[in-house]
Amino acid sequence: MALGKPNRDRRSERRAAVRAEILDAAWAVARERGLAGLTLNEVASRIGMRAPSLYSHFASKNAIYDAMFGQAWTEYDDVDRAASENAPSSPRERVRHRCLVFFDFAVADLVRTQLMNQRTIPDFSPSEEAFAPSVRAVGRAVAELAELGITDRGDIEILFAVIGGLADQQLANDPGGDSRRKLIERAADMWADGVGLPADRTEGRER
């Protein structure tokens, strides 16, 4: 073994692997039975454990929800960051692009979206740690809109509500389809008109 090379913490690696396995099982159960249908017994049975053994890794069922919440928002934060780095330069194209990124992520997984954006679990509130990637992603969106001259909180909330609403409609009424996705650019342009974003140079061509 080379001098100065730290020893691997195999115990921590094993614990992390078990936690990941538990979370994978929790997501599988939630996608089959709904978030409220998640039970420790079912999660444990899927990975060959007894329910009490889960407490060695998560203090409660809400702790599992918390880890799922943090995982989901971390996934979106990663997608959002990449989208931000590759966003078009035109203000309206930039808004359309970012709206489509959120919409596509949301409609890809109903259960994940419910946990991230709805109060599906009555007695669950995410921890500060789990909530952190949400703060980063939303903060990035707010900063980008500020660069476009949009700083009014109401304007920003309307945009979020419109795109989130279209995603919810897609999931509820046309899962797996694209009927509401086809409305994203139109909705983004209506919002842009309302807040006074300058039109694209090529705007006026028929979409």
- How would you label 53-83 residue by residue, b for 16+ Cβ within 10 Å and e otherwise? ebeebbeebbbbbbbbbbbbbbebbebbeeb
As a whole-number percent, the residues of the chain with pLDDT over 90 amount to 83
β-bridge partners, 203: 205
Residues of the chain with CATH 1.10.10.60: 10-58
pLDDT tens across 25-67, in order? 999 999 999 999 999 999 999 999 999 999 999 999 999 999 9
Determine contact, residues 67/19, Cβ cutoff 8 Å.
yes
Q: Is the pTM of this model over 0.85?
A: yes
Determine contact, residues 77/138, Cβ cutoff 8 Å.
no
CATH code for the structural domain at 10-58: 1.10.10.60
When the pLDDT of each residue in the chain is averaged and rounded to a whole number, the result is: 92
CA atoms of 46 and 21, how far apart (whole Å): 9
pLDDT surpassing 80 at residue 4 = no
pLDDT tens across 59-99, in order? 999 999 999 999 999 999 999 999 999 888 899 999 999 99
The CATH architecture of the domain made up of 67-195 is: Orthogonal Bundle (1.10)
Residues of the chain with CATH 1.10.357.10: 67-195
The tokens describing 162, both together, are 């419109």
Burial class (CB in 10 A: 0-12, 13-18, 19+), 115: buried
pLDDT surpassing 70 at residue 203 = no
Distances (CA, A) of 10 to 15, 30, 136, 179: 9, 30, 31, 49
pLDDT of residue 9: 72
pLDDT of residue 182: 97
User: What's the start-to-end Cα distance of the chain, in Å?
Assistant: 63
